[in-house]
Amino acid sequence: MTTQDFLSGRTALITGSVQGIGRAVAEALAARGVRIAVHGLATPADAGAALAAVRAAGAPDARFFDADMRDPDAVDAMMADIDAWGGADILVNNAGIQKTATIADMPRETWDAILAVNLSGAFFTMRRALPKMAERGYGRVVNIASVHGLVASVEKSPYVASKFGLIGLSRVAALEYAHAGSRGTGGVTVNCICPGWTETALIQPQIEARAAQMGGDRTAGIADLLSEKQPSLRTSQPDEIGAAVVWLADPIAHNITGISLPIDGGWTTQ
């Protein structure tokens, strides 16, 4: 059975999939015939554009969900709706927020919000999705962590804490569900992808600021920015993260569980 056949008609929830990495993941899975639950806090126009994009990519069906990931009850309600729609065979926890400040200056409410979205939100989707995956014998959880789940940076205490926590949570879940399913059904796996510098709206202000320092040369600005961390001096594209998720969703990956896959141009190798 090909990947296309195996995934066709299955259902994926990708949190934070209106734009950036999440949308690229949604489009990559849609191209394999997966039904897509698009999620985000978005205007009707942005939500409609995301739905149109995944349908154009090949999704046989797509629906939009707007649960606030800071609210466990809202997450539970969303997961119940997705169960009624057929249940999530693939869960990609991508929703995330970040704000930089020193530990001394980090507002309490910022700490709470970042941990709630980046870590607790993933826990509340996983606790609902994984038992159903085990019943079916196939399921994939791919949590979009970060290089900051593997190494730290200054002025990012809640973000780093949330991503380290997400990797730990994923490893626990991988162990708890490693026995579920079989090679034939595809098994149930839980993994993390840890992107480094990736071309999303989140990093555009940093790129533009560095490019301005380099006389307006964007390529030089990116290289200078990445030279501090990413030895390849190249950013990743969101669709490259999407391709990695599709590979992990393939039944051939039934024995790949509990990993944290860096896509970081050598950042965490140093």
pLDDT of 18 > 80? The answer is yes
- Where does the chain hold its CATH 3.40.50.720 domain(s)? 3-196+236-263
CA dihedral 67, 72, 78, 79 (to 10 degrees): 140
Q: For the residues 154-175, what does the mean pLDDT come to?
A: 98
**Contacts of 83 by beta carbon, 8 Å cutoff, 6+ apart:** 128, 132
Residue 4: φ, ψ to 5°: -60, -50
pLDDT in tens, 105-127: 999 999 999 999 999 999 999 99
**Four-residue CA torsion sign, 127, 107, 18, 228:** negative
Q: For a pLDDT cut of 90, what percent of the chain falls above it?
A: 91
pLDDT at 113: 98
pLDDT at 216: 94
pLDDT at 61: 98
Q: What is the spatial distance between Cα 127 and Cα 107, in angstroms, rounded to a whole number?
A: 29
Q: What is the spatial distance between Cα 143 and Cα 126, in angstroms, rounded to a whole number?
A: 10
pLDDT of 78 > 80? The answer is yes
pLDDT at 108: 98
| pLDDT-wise least confident of 2-6, 62-66, 158-162 | 2-6
pLDDT of 137 > 90? The answer is yes
Residue 204 pLDDT grade (very low, low, confident, very high; cuts 50, 70, 90): confident
pLDDT at 4: 64
pLDDT at 228: 82
Q: What is the spatial distance between Cα 73 and Cα 67, in angstroms, rounded to a whole number?
A: 9
**Contacts of 44 by beta carbon, 8 Å cutoff, 6+ apart:** none
**Contacts of 229 by beta carbon, 8 Å cutoff, 6+ apart:** 147, 196, 197, 267
Q: For the residues 238-251, what does the mean pLDDT come to?
A: 98
CATH superfamily of 3-196+236-263: NAD(P)-binding Rossmann-like Domain (3.40.50.720)
pLDDT of 196 > 70? The answer is yes
pLDDT of 2 > 60? The answer is no
pLDDT at 3: 59
Q: For a pLDDT cut of 70, what percent of the chain falls above it?
A: 99
pLDDT of 26 > 80? The answer is yes
Query: How much is the mean pLDDT over the chain?
Result: 96
What residue type is 224 in one-letter code? D
pTM: 0.94
Question: Which residues belong to the active site?
Answer: 159
pLDDT at 225: 86
3-class secondary structure per residue, the chain: CCHHHHHCCCEEEECCCCCHHHHHHHHHHHCCCCEEEEECCCCHHHHHHHHHHHHHHCCCCEEEECCCCCCHHHHHHHHHHHHHCCCCCEEEECCCCCCCECCCCCCHHHHHHHHHHHHHHHHHHHHHHHHHHHHHCEEEEEEECCHHHCCCCCCEHHHHHHHHHHHHHHHHHHHHHCCCCCCCCCEEEEEEEEECCECCHHHHHHHHHHHHHCCCCHHHHHHHHHCCCCCCCCCECHHHHHHHHHHHHCHHHCCCCCCEEEECCCHHHC
